[in-house]
Chain A
Amino acid sequence: MANDRNSFVFRLLLTLFVILVINFFLPRMMPGDPFSTTSADEVGEEIIVMTEEQRLYYMNYYGLDRPLHEQFLVYMKNLMTGDLGRSIYYKMPVSDVIILHLPWTMLIVLGSTVISTIFGVFLGTLSAKNRKKGSDRIMMTGMIAFAEIPSFLLGLILLLFFSAYLRLFPLAGAITSFADYSGPAEHTWDILYHAFLPIVTLSLSQLTGVYLLTRNTLITVTTKDYIRTARAKGLGEKTVWTRHALRNALLPVVTRAGFMIGIMMGGVVLVESVFSYPGIGMILRCAVVGRDYPLIQGILLVIAVSILICNLLVDKIYSKLDPRVAI
């Protein structure tokens, strides 16, 4: 048992090390450096073109003129003490930038995971119960067709309709600028009001997956012997579905929800930019465009670690839900 645990920790550390190496070298292999911008990306955009002296000064300031292996050792050493380095673009510690933006991404990712899971399970159950009837077919076709809409397009449609046309929701941002809140309740309300459309967009784009998974596993489960046994025992249809069928069908849904959190952390970039939502995706985009190596490393590390943690959590919950599985 102790041996098992050791090898598990070893595997985890090895994974982490490989991630760190890739995180470090991949961004630096992209062409260009943070200071040699000469062209603007869009009409009218302002850029500050640095002179060669300025460029060399800043390369030296951030230690980018040193050999790559030396930079890597410095990075690893700093990382051991919890120092993620200093963002070149934002001019502040990487950890501060991430702490500032991560909660916003967490809010919409967790929010939409919860919502899409609840609705997906509900609709999936409904569909499975009415299997082979008209309503199931319509729902299934509709959901699959719906899943083909890319999330940023969906976001754009929602934004144009609800915010621009109906003016029900804000056009951008995560809070009202320069607002004076009378209390935490009003503040929370403002945050939820701004987060609503992004969460709905992400939820809708996740919904079909959960729906299909629930429907399919439910259908598989309901052909199992123990369901027949439960029915034979004379249990009511409601008890059979919730206690026996759904509980077992939920296992893969939980796994999926866990994985989805990790994947969505990296995938919210587009949705965040549609809503100008100040999450981690927005700054990742900026960091890549600006070749802000420390920040790219930091964000990718956070995403990687959160995927690892989600996997761990899924394993834990899994063993709770299904006692046959243990790490």
Chain B
Amino acid sequence: MEKKKLLVLFSVFLIPLILMTAGCIDQDSAQAGTSAENTAEESQKVDVVHLSGGDYGYPQPFTIYPRGPGSSKVGMIFDSLVERDEIGIIPWLAESWEVNSDGTEYTFYLREGIIWSDGEPFTASDVKFTFDYEQENVPIAGGMESGVVDNVQVVDSSTVKFVLNQPVSTFLYKLTSFKIIPEHIYENVSDPTSFLDPEAVTGTGPFLLDEYNKEHGSYRFVTNEKFWGPDTAVEAVEFIPVSDPLIAFEQGEIDFTSISPDILDRFTSYPDIRVVQQPAFWGYQFYFNMNKCSELNDRKIRQAFAYAIDREELVGKIGRGAGKPGEMGILPEDHIWYNPDQPEYDYDPDKTGALLDEAGWVDTDGDGIRDMDGKKLSYVLSLGSAEVRIGELIKERLSEVGIDVQVKALESKSRDANLKTGDFELAISGFGGWGKDADYLRTRYCDTDSESGSSVASGAAVFGYHNDTLNALGEQELQELDDEKRKEIAYEMQTVLAEDVPTIPLYYTTSYDAWRISKYDGWMNMYDHHARTHSILSYIERDGIAEKR
């Protein structure tokens, strides 16, 4: 009796073990062959680079997860017509292109002799197919937003023409993330969101997906021998799960990591470890809801906020020095089109006081909070639990100038829901992408084509802001095809925004990247993005088409 019970208990314990072992064996034996081949040839090339992993989805445009670096993994396999390097846009699948005089037709001449990783030739019809297919099946990332392109025409097998609805100055920029998928595979797929077959990751790019383990969050990419471009500089890239990237880096499990400024000293003394700061393209933004709080429509009040919030202090105390204070012209200092000559708002509580007095807000009842006609300058500041300390510091500074703030920490999805519906008074949110094309000044702050009452654009919680000058500049910026002239317009837009203060960028973070030089030293930054590991150029030889600039 006793023995039997023990046996039952033991076998219950064994079942999950057997299940797990059984599931993996056949995969492993299949992998054994390929890894042996890879090590034999090409000795000077780096064999493998290890990076911090985690499951971000099957790396095709329809199945990656919306959170985390899934799209950069898609980029290792799939190519776009044009690519981004450290300075700007470079030819990629398209060797050259022509634009008609009014900027509504782009003709791309594709590189000859490109083949998909399964041996099929890549042609102009793959490009047209990708566009048409994604009209029906919207990808998570790597698509072309609707309303830009009217249709795509195949001129001949290596020439393709995009016809636009209206001139869009950022069309080429948008194309850099438009990943071309193979027609001969996807034409038979009716539901790409559930397409997890090996063929789904057939691309023209420099790497092949050798192994993906969703359960454990590991990826192994190996060189695509059929890649049309420069050689890869690393034979394989492995993403492996780590619990703490820093310890994993110290122990040599991964070769690249981000480090916090507090422990910088531990790494700067090693000759083999290179520590470089990231460009300031990730930041926190402070929102005003002008629909809900009418007095915020007065730009003097918003300017008063900008003078009262000590952004240098936020960088020092919260960012531990690894950051840059926010610019009221929105674009960070590291942005290629940052306007250095714009109204500045240094921390100056006296100016805040003067501005508020001027607008008629004074403390009449002596409770320390400014008021007017019985209404108090008192707000609820909504933020995510990670931003509580930022909120507390701001509350402190604002209370010194007579503005009362209650910090309300929310779970991140709840906060996002409030940002979307406009159910907040003041809010803070952190996000990346501040280095993207300056066109985001238009999409976020011009209310030309949005219905009244909603926020200006999806993704930006700017409620109730309206400025005719900015709208007109935005209109111009969208149509201007000459980049030099467009840059001037973007400069002007920054000046207008800095005078108006529709939102307050609090600070942009500049984390430190650290990597082992002896392992691999080819890391580069795209001109518009903070993460070095996300650029495909970080993994290939910088010659020919991808020559370093």
A residues apposed to B, CB below 8 Å: 30-33, 35-55, 57-58, 61, 86, 89-92, 100-104, 106-107, 110-111, 114, 159, 163-164, 167, 171-175, 177-181, 184, 187-188, 191, 274-276, 278, 289-291
Binds A, one of B153-161, B208-216, B296-304: B208-216
| Contact in complex: A39, B21 (CB < 8 Å) | no
Cα A57 to Cα B145 with chains together (Å): 13
A294 smallest CB distance to B (angstroms): 13
Q: How far is the CA of A169 from the CA of B384 in the complex (A)?
A: 35
Provide the residues of chain A in CB contact with B141, threshold 8 Å. 48
Contact check, A38 vs B429: say whether CB atoms are below 8 A apart: yes
A163, B138: Cα distance in complex, Å:
44
A/B interface sample: 23 pairs, CB < 8 A: A32-B416, A36-B417, A44-B511, A49-B458, A58-B138, A92-B214, A102-B16, A104-B20, A106-B15, A107-B17, A111-B13, A164-B247, A171-B248, A171-B251, A173-B240, A178-B218, A179-B28, A180-B28, A181-B28, A184-B25, A188-B21, A191-B21, A290-B65
Query: Given the known A-B contacts A41-B384, A44-B282, A178-B31, are A171 and B418 also in contact in the complex, defined by CB atoms under 8 Å?
Result: no
Chain B nearest CB, measured from A58 CB (Å):
7
> How does the 8 Å CB contact mask read for B120-150 relative to A, with 1 for contact and 0 for none?
0000000000000000001011010110000
Report the Cα distance A171→B32, complex, angstroms: 25
B residues 240-271 with Cβ under 8 Å of A?
Answer: 240-244, 247-248, 251, 253, 258
* Chain B positions 200 through 230: 1 when the CB is less than 8 Å from some CB of chain A, otherwise 0: 0000000000010111111010000000000
Q: Which of A37, A58, A181, A184 contacts B67 (CB 8 A)?
A: A37
B518 within 8 A of A: no
- Neighbouring A residues of B16 by C-beta, 8 Å: 102-104, 106-107, 110
Say yes or no: is B522 at the interface (Cβ < 8 Å to chain A). Answer: no
Judged by DSSP, the binding face of A is loop
- The residue from A47, A53, A55, A86 contacting B432, defined by CB atoms under 8 A apart: A47
Chain B, residues 280-295, CB within 8 Å of chain A (1/0): the string is 0010000000000000
| Shortest distance between the CB of A186 and any CB in chain B (Å) | 10
* Residues of chain B lying within 8 A (CB to CB) of residue A188: 17, 21
Chain B positions within 8 Å of A, measured between CB atoms, are: 9, 12-13, 15-17, 19-21, 24-25, 28, 31-32, 35, 53, 57-58, 62-63, 65-71, 138, 140-141, 143, 145-146, 193-194, 196, 211, 213-218, 220, 238, 240-244, 247-248, 251, 253, 258, 278, 282, 384, 386, 412-420, 429-432, 458-459, 461, 509, 511, 530-531, 534
Contact across chains for B530 and A37 when beta carbons are under 8 A apart: no
Q: Beyond A44-B509, A178-B238, A275-B243: 18 further Cβ-contacts under 8 Å?
A: A38-B416, A38-B419, A41-B384, A41-B412, A42-B386, A43-B509, A46-B71, A48-B71, A49-B458, A89-B66, A90-B214, A104-B16, A104-B215, A164-B244, A177-B238, A178-B35, A187-B21, A274-B243
What DSSP secondary structure best describes chain B's contact surface? Answer: mixed
Q: From the candidates B9, B20, B66, name the one contacting A191 in the complex (CB within 8 A).
A: B20
A50 and B139 alpha carbons, distance in the complex (Å): 10
- Most chain B C-beta atoms within 10 Å of own C-beta, residue among A47, A57, A92, A174: A47
Nearest B-chain residue to A52, judged by Cβ: B458
A residues less than 8 Å from B70 (CB atoms)? 48
In order of increasing CB-CB distance, the 3 nearest A-B pairs are A32-B413, A103-B16, A172-B243
State whether B431 touches A44 (Cβ < 8 A): no
CB of A167 within 8 A of CB of B251, answer yes
A159 and B243 within 8 A (CB): yes
Q: Is the CB of B65 within 8 A of A89?
A: yes
Q: Which residues of A contact B53 (CB under 8 A)?
A: 177
Say whether B419 contacts A171, CB under 8 Å: no
B416 surroundings in chain A (CB, below 8 A):
32, 36-39
A191 to B24, CA, bound (A): 12
Contact partners of A30 in chain B: CB under 8 A = 413-414
Q: Establish whether residues B67 and A187, one from each chain, have CB atoms under 8 Å apart when the complex forms.
A: no
Contact A46–B432 (Cβ < 8 Å): yes
Cα distance, A188 to B214, chains bound together (Å): 20
A35 close to B243 (CB less than 8 A): no
B511 with A37: CB separation less than 8 A: no
Chain A residues within an 8 Å CB radius of B429? 38-39
